[in-house]
Amino acid sequence: MLEVSSVNIAKALRAIKKSVWVYHLNSGSCNACDIEVLDALTPYFDVERFGIKLVGSPRHADVILFTGPVTRESLPKVVKTIKAMPRPRLILVLGSCGIGGGIWWDTYSTLGGFKKLEEILRENGVEVDRVVYVPGCPVRPEAIIYGMLLLLGLVEQKSKRVEVVASEG
Amino acid sequence: MKSDSSLSTIVKALEEVGAFVEEVRDSEVYFRVTRENVRAAARALYSLGAYLKTCAGVDERELSGLFAVYYIFGLDDHGVDAVLRVLVPQDDPWTVSVVPDVPAADWCELEVRDLLGIDFRGRLTKRLVLPEDWPEGVYPLRKEFKYDEKPPRVLREELSEEVGIPVGPYHPALHEPEYFELYVEGERVVDVAYRGFHVHRGIEKLAESQRFTYKQVPFLAERICGICGFVHSSCYVMAVEKAAGIVVPERAEFIRSIVLEVERLHSHLLWLGVAAHLLGYDAGFMHAWRIREQVMVLAEYLTGSRKTYGINLIGGVRKDINTEKIDKVLKTITDLRKEFTELVKAMLAVPQIKSRASGTGVLTKAEARALSVVGPVARASGLYRDVRKDYPYLAYKRVSFKVPLYTEGDNLARLLVRVDEVFESIEIIKQLIDMLPGGSVVVEEYDIPSGRRAVAAIEAPRGEDVHFIITGVGRPYRWRVRAPTYQNIPALRAMLRGTPLADAPLTIASIDPCFSCTDRVTVLDVRSGRKSFIRLKQGV
């Protein structure tokens, strides 16, 4: 989880907690994460019972579900879409591609994931308030739900970041 | 299947136009033809009833000092692939286009032009695959271009002010970034411009790079598409096996076929749900996806993953199926059959579904033929095309099933083809399970010689998926993927013309577009002469 905000997120979260509108932003992914997103929204996992609902415009969105490695062609449109979202901008980055570009992290036509996109967003003056990364190739629907709860501050993060220094020899 | 007489007919017809046989392998015949004669050769093949599968540009300068363009034609009636190889000198890279005679070659020729820098004469050319800010004269598929080179980028505001009705690139009806611009007069669509290739990730180039070996490419192929990924990895391994002459154990062929059909089930259920959603019948959407979930669970049980199964190896599969799994498969498909029958009954009883789907988005048989469309789109327009029947592969020669055929060519026909196919798939799985032979599931000792060529095709849920491979040392020298949607999107123009605007999203969805497959990678000047434009910022 990454906090980079000057906006009062706690206050905003209290307001949206039980009615979270999500917008699905595909930046060139293979569809697998995307159909798992739909899986999470449909009756078996049924996140609509928690008030999570897919909307058709980033202007209505509380959270963006971000998939894909950010292809060169989609980049300007992705920036524009994220810019159109109101503050606080909460982003749930789904899948290996979204996180680090996945298997095509260094090819000529991809940017290599959300970290690289963040730099470009910053250059264009688009601030992002909170980001949660959900790994998986593709992500499991259960993981998407957990990631969402983490983003909304409803659960504590179970794993911790640990810096490890490789010993010599 | 191939007989000597059909082969000699093809050879004779092509020798008359100056082509000569280069190589005959299994069910493929390779012809060499000069760039001046290629159009006549393509016309000759087309008049024999061939469909264009795809074309591929190859940088063969390391081998022969020349570029090559391969046109791959499939003669469905004979079960033979005829491949035309046109050599193009590197200091004068042009060839004659076959598009005036074979409209289906439109996109693949443009792709060769973009990625390899070969010019096509006798047709209109424009940039198709590469982004608009990509510099001129940089061609990713040339061998000197490194796969991770990144030419400078210009971040531009796209989407000009004066447009028709923009659908996408981010639109509720599309789950992938693609951009359609619909031009309307009143309520009728008069033209459509398409700017796709947002999901071009450079996969073909990546497979040639040092990062990959033969054994690792199935992992990459599976990620071409998250819906029909197993089709791609199977098609890749089949192409390699064919090129290297590796004989796969029968049990592995059966397991691959079973998993392919499981994938078809989940894909068709997914599509049916999306179609119901676009028609405003959300109950149908939810039910289709509820039913589909058990197929996902089954896939995980069989392969270890819900998606991107990862069980394909060159020479076989990684996972066997035991009796316990067989029971689970049979139980799941029996339940599925029952629930799906109910769903279809309920869905088709909704009067709006039938009235909105019938008569909209019509694709005539002649148009379907000219554009070489594939899969359910072809079968709904009265073309009897199914790779499983025309070029039997894996275990499909052992099972009996019907190929659903409709002649109306409208959205309803495409819907019904897919509904029928779900029932057929269930029957196919039952038969395969019944006949599952014993033995091992993989051969581990094999050798892949370089310089071999092979074409493999699989009937994906969306239609014929074609992989063409030229083997190299340690990794493919060139690997060309032609996904079914690639062949079907150009047909949308014909389908959308004259359709009411409200039916456009359903029509676009009716080909079951899968852009990530298509884009492994327009400036269309259609504005002039159009009467009215509606400006909308977001969505329809």
Render pLDDT for B418-465 as a digit per residue (tens, 0 to 9).
Answer: 999 999 999 999 999 999 999 999 998 899 999 899 999 999 999 899
B179 phi, psi to nearest 5 deg? -125, 120
- Which percentage of chain A shows pLDDT scores above 70? 95
- Which class for B36: exposed (0-12), middle (13-18), buried (19 or more C-beta within 10 A)? exposed
Instruction: Provide the H-helix boundaries in B358-410.
Output: 365-370, 375-380, 387-390
**Model pLDDT, residue B263:** 93
Residue A70: HSE in the Cβ half-sphere, 13 Å Cα cutoff: 26
- Give the CATH number of domain B4-121; options: 3.30.460.80, 3.60.15.10, 3.40.309.10, 3.40.50.1860: 3.30.460.80
**How many other C-beta atoms can be found within 10 angstroms of the C-beta atom of residue B155?**
13
Count CB-CB contacts under 10 A for residue A31: 27
Per-residue model confidence as pLDDT tens digits over B267-281: 999 999 888 888 888
Kind and range of the H or E element at A41?
A: helix A32-41
Mean pLDDT of B368-391: 90
Give the model's pLDDT for residue B179: 66
- Min Cα–Cα distance to chain A from B476, Å: 17
Residue A50: alpha-carbon gap to chain centroid: 18
Q: How far apart are CA A137 and CA A58, in angstroms?
A: 25
Segment B245-260 mean pLDDT: 94
Contacts of B69 (CB under 8 A, 6+ apart): B55, B56, B57, B58, B85, B86, B88, B95, B112, B118
Query: B21-59 pLDDT, tens per residue?
Result: 988 887 889 999 999 999 999 999 988 888 898 899 999
Q: Which residues contact A49 (CB under 8 A, 6 or more apart)?
A: none
For an interface test with B, give the residue of A21, A23, A35 to mutate (most B CBs within 10 A): A35
pLDDT at B516: 54
Torsions phi, psi for B477 (to 5 deg): -75, -40
> Is A166 exposed, middle or buried, given 0-12, 13-18 or 19+ CB atoms closer than 10 A?
exposed
DSSP B20: E
A110-135: pLDDT as tens digits: 888 899 999 999 988 899 999 999 99
At B151 the pLDDT is 83
B112 against A159, higher pLDDT: B112
Radius of gyration of chain B (CA): 23
Residue with tokens 């795809």: B54
Backbone angles phi, psi at B167, to 5 degrees: -115, 105
Q: Judging by DSSP bridges, how do beta strands A90-94 and A130-134 pair with one another?
A: parallel
Nearest partner of B196 among B528, B495, B493, B506, judged by Cα: B493
SS3 content of chain A, % helix, strand, coil (to 5): 40, 15, 45
The pLDDT confidence band at residue B527, using thresholds 50, 70 and 90, is: very low
Question: Which are the contacts of B107, defined by CB distance < 8 A and separation ≥ 6?
Answer: B128, B486, B489, B490
Mean pLDDT, chain A, whole residue set: 87
> Which residues is B195 bridged to in the sheet?
B179
CB of B378 within 8 Å of any CB in chain A? no
Residue B428's H or E segment, with its range, is: helix B411-435
Q: Is the Cβ pair B307, A36 closer than 8 Å? A: yes
Write down the pLDDT at residue B176. Answer: 61
**In this structure, are residues B299 and B306 in contact, taking their beta carbons and an 8 Å threshold?**
yes
* Structure confidence by residue, pLDDT tens digits, B339-350: 999 999 999 999
Q: Is B345 on the interface with A (CB under 8 A)?
A: no
* pLDDT of residue B184 exceeding 70: no
Q: Which residue in this structure is represented by tokens 């013309």? A: B497
* Angstroms from A74 CA to nearest CA on chain B: 5
B215 lies within 8 A of chain A by CB? no
Asked if B203's CB is within 8 angstroms of A104's CB, the reply is yes
Residue A168 clears pLDDT 60, i.e. is over it: yes
Over residues A148-168, mean pLDDT: 85
Q: Cα-flanking dihedrals φ and ψ of residue B459, to 5°?
A: -80, 100
CB < 8 Å to A138, chain B:
226, 306-308
* More confident site: A63 or B497: A63
Q: Does the beta-carbon distance from A32 to B227 stay under 8 Å?
A: yes
Q: Is the pLDDT of residue B532 over 60?
A: no
3-state secondary structure of B450: coil
Token pair 């014993």: residue? B438
Mean pLDDT over residues B4-17, rounded?
85
The three-class DSSP label of residue B471 is strand
Per-residue pLDDT at B104:
86
Q: Which of B353, B206, B193, B230 is nearest to B280 (CA)?
A: B353
* Residues of B with Cβ-Cβ distance to A59 under 8 angstroms: 538
* Run of H or E residues at B208: helix B203-208
Any A CB within 8 A of B293 CB: yes
pLDDT at B165: 61
Confidence of residue B400 (pLDDT cuts 50, 70, 90): very high
Distance CA B517, CA B510 (A): 16
pLDDT at position B190, please? 66
Q: How many helices (H) and strands (E) does chain A have?
A: 6, 6
The pLDDT value recorded for residue B279 is: 85
As a whole number of angstroms, the distance between CA B492 and CA B498 comes to: 12
Which of B225, B296, B521 faces A30 most closely, judged by CB atoms? B225
Distance of alpha carbon B229 from alpha carbon A34, whole angstroms: 14
- C-beta atoms of B516 and A29 within 8 A: yes
Query: Distance between alpha carbon A40 and the CA centroid of its chain, in Å?
Result: 15
Instruction: Compute the distance between CA of residue B2 and CA of residue B5 in angstroms, rounded to an integer.
Output: 8
Encode pLDDT of B79-108 as tens digits.
Answer: 889 999 999 998 999 999 999 888 888 888
Q: Is a pLDDT exceeding 50 seen at residue B529? A: no
CB contact, 8 Å: B127 with chain A? Answer: no
Residue B384: pLDDT above 60?
yes
Q: Which of B125-134, B159-168, B229-238 has the lowest mean pLDDT?
A: B159-168
pLDDT in tens, B316-328: 999 999 989 999 9
Confidence of residue B235 (pLDDT cuts 50, 70, 90): very high
Give the range among A59-63, B81-85, B124-128, B196-200 with minimum mean pLDDT: B196-200
Chain B closest-CA separation from residue A165 CA (Å): 27
Say whether residue A74 is in contact with chain B using an 8 A CB cutoff: yes
Return the CATH superfamily for domain B203-487: Cytochrome-c3 Hydrogenase, chain B (1.10.645.10)
For chain A, which domains are there? 2-151 (3.40.50.12280)
The whole-angstrom separation of Cα B234 and Cα A129 is 43
**In this structure, which amino acid lies at residue B316?**
G
What mean pLDDT comes out for the span B521-534?
Answer: 29
Angle of helix A32-41 relative to helix A141-151, nearest 10 degrees?
A: 70
- Angle in degrees, 0-180, between the axes of helices B411-435 and B250-278, rounded to the nearest 10: 150
The mean pLDDT value for B141-154 works out to 84
Q: Does B74 touch chain A (CB under 8 A)?
A: no
Domain extent listing, chain B: 4-121, 203-487
B120: three-class secondary structure by DSSP: strand
Q: Is residue A136 predicted with pLDDT exceeding 50? A: yes
Each residue's pLDDT tens digit, A62-79: 999 999 999 888 888 899
How many CA atoms are closer than 13 Å to the CA of B237, on its beta-carbon side?
Answer: 30
pLDDT of residue B493: 81
What is the pLDDT, as a whole number, of residue B186?
64
pLDDT number for residue B333: 93
Q: Which of A146-155, B78-87, B499-508 has the lowest mean pLDDT?
A: B499-508
- A125 lies within 8 A of chain B by CB: no
| Highest-pLDDT range among A34-43, B126-135, B331-340 | B331-340
